[in-house]
Amino acid sequence: MTASLRRAVGLRNIVAHGYAGIDHKMIEAAATAGVDDLSQFAQRVANWAARVL
């Protein structure tokens, strides 16, 4: 999961800063394939918050 989140951050930087243009196929792939990883991460954060807060 760590590698997936690092790729998401890298993709965010490309989109936000326009590094080397935007590859629309890469954005589509990340938006469809990366959703499960982000959902898992969000669930883990929610579980942690429920225990700690």
Distance CA 53, CA 14 (A): 34
DSSP string, 5-42: HHHHHHHHHHHHHTTT---HHHHHHHHHHSHHHHHHHH
- CA 38 vs. chain centroid, Å, equals 6
Q: What pLDDT is attached to residue 49?
A: 96
Which residues are CB-neighbours of 5 under 8 A, at least 6 positions away? Answer: 37, 38, 41
The stretch 13-18 carries a mean pLDDT of 78
The stretch 24-42 carries a mean pLDDT of 83
pLDDT digits (tens, 9 = 90+) for 35-51: 888 888 899 999 999 99
The stretch 11-39 carries a mean pLDDT of 79
Find where tokens 């589509």 sit: 28
pTM: 0.55
pLDDT digits (tens, 9 = 90+) for 3-13: 877 877 887 88
